[in-house]
């Protein structure tokens, strides 16, 4: 049996220090980095995403950063296609692959199936978008007389997506779920080593406070103004990102300048709490490494 190439995955909550550790590990191992951060795709979203700087990217080749404008939408299906192409090319050159980022849904693409094969026609999507939440929920219920399983009925986006899939496939959610469970993971032909970097909550809160201060001093408000002119408001996945949504609210007069930093910090801490829950419940068994003592040597030796 041929030996599978290895994917090294380094993840962790926002502000744990993944970027610098990833750079040092990649430099030491002759690796290239594939981003697994759902906001680093967008050109111009630099300060608010703590995107690796030009100097940092000069130290190690990076992939899947700055690949689309803020007007464009990225989804996990597109991501998988691009990520497979990137890791295959890196391996072909005989270099190690390091995937790093904290966006759970994109991270999971390296570990399990994340998207079904139901194609939603534009006509179906357009009609569903005209429905209110109650209407969509009622229609979805009629198509699924056996029940809706664990679907989050209070989440309009999930209800809409479920209805689109049922209408497009002409089948109930339970059958679609069975098909999904039988799918082969997109990176099944790779061996995966997963490490999660972490910090104690109090220490992480200090890092978040310093990061937000640095972002505002570096010109986050000016960055958001420019991105709004470039179409940021047209992309809900990007304009609802922490840091950006608060500045947008301030520019709209919904938040005072004096409240801006504290609000970003509060929302970032809430995100970290959600990330920790997701990592604990959605990731397979993996190694957890304290950021304060993390070293390059032996990082993935487990």
Closest CA to 69 of 229, 221, 250: 229
**% pLDDT > 70, the chain:** 99
Q: Provide the residue ranges of all domains of the chain, joining segments of one domain with +.
A: 6-113+185-293, 122-181
Q: What does the pLDDT look like over 35-59, one tens digit per residue?
A: 999 999 999 999 999 999 999 999 9
Pick from 37, 42, 36: which is nearest to 227 by CA?
Answer: 42
pLDDT value at residue 161? 87
Give per-residue burial for 273-296: e unless 16+ CB within 10 Å, then b.
Answer: eebbebbeeebeebeebebeebee
- Winning range, highest mean pLDDT, from 2-16, 121-135, 147-161, 240-254: 240-254
Residue 4 has pLDDT above 80, yes or no: yes
CATH topology of domain 6-113+185-293: Rossmann fold (3.40.50)
Other CB atoms within 10 Å distance of the CB of residue 271: 17
Sheet-wide strand order for 287-290: 62-63, 31-35, 96-100, 6-12, 191-198, 287-290
Query: For residue 76, what pLDDT is reported?
Result: 86
Categorize the per-residue pLDDT at 2 as very low, low, confident or very high, splitting at 50, 70 and 90.
Answer: low
At residue 257, the pLDDT reads: 96
Q: What is the CATH number of domain 122-181?
A: 1.10.20
pLDDT at 1: 52
Whole-number percent of the chain with pLDDT over 90: 82
Tokens standing for residue 236: 């809900």
Residues making up the chain, counted from first to last: 302
Phi then psi dihedrals of residue 202, to 5 deg = -65, -40
Q: What is the mean pLDDT of residues 147-172?
A: 90
**Residue 188: what pLDDT?**
93
- pLDDT for res 87: 97
Q: 222-279, pLDDT tens digit by residue?
A: 999 999 999 999 998 899 999 999 999 999 999 999 999 999 999 999 999 999 999 9
Contact 197, 21 (CB under 8 A): yes
């Amino acid at each position: 049996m041929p030996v599978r190439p290895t994917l090294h995955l380094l993840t962790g909550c926002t502000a744990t220090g993944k970027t610098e550790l990833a750079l040092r590990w990649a430099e030491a191992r002759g690796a290239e980095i594939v981003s697994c951060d759902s906001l680093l795709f967008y050109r111009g979203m630099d300060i608010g995403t703590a995107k690796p700087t030009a100097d940092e990217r000069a130290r190690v080749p990076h992939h899947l950063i700055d690949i689309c404008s803020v007007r464009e939408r990225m989804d996990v299906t597109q991501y998988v296609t691009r990520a497979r192409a990137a890791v295959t090319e890196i391996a072909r050159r005989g270099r190690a692959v390091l995937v790093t980022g904290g966006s759970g849904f994109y991270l999971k693409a390296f570990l399990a199936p994340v998207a079904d094969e139901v194609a939603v026609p534009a006509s179906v999507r357009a009609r569903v978008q005209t429905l209110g939440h109650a209407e969509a929920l009622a229609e979805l219920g009629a198509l699924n007389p056996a029940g809706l399983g664990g679907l989050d009925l209070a989440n309009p986006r999930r209800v809409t997506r479920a209805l689109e899939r049922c209408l497009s496939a002409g089948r109930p959610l339970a059958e679609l779920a069975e098909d999904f469970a039988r799918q082969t993971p997109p990176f099944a032909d790779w061996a995966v080593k997963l490490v999660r970097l972490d910090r104690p909550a109090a220490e992480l809160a200090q890092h978040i406070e310093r990061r937000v201060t640095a972002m505002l001093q570096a010109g986050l408000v000016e960055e958001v103004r420019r991105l709004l002119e470039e179409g940021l408001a047209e992309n809900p996945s990007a304009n609802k990102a922490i840091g950006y949504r608060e500045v947008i609210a301030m520019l709209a007069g919904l938040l005072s300048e004096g409240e801006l930093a504290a609000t970003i910090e509060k929302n970032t801490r809430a995100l970290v709490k959600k990330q920790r829950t997701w990592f604990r419940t959605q990731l397979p068994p993996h190694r957890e490494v304290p950021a304060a003592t993390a070293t390059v040597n032996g990082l993935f030796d487990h």
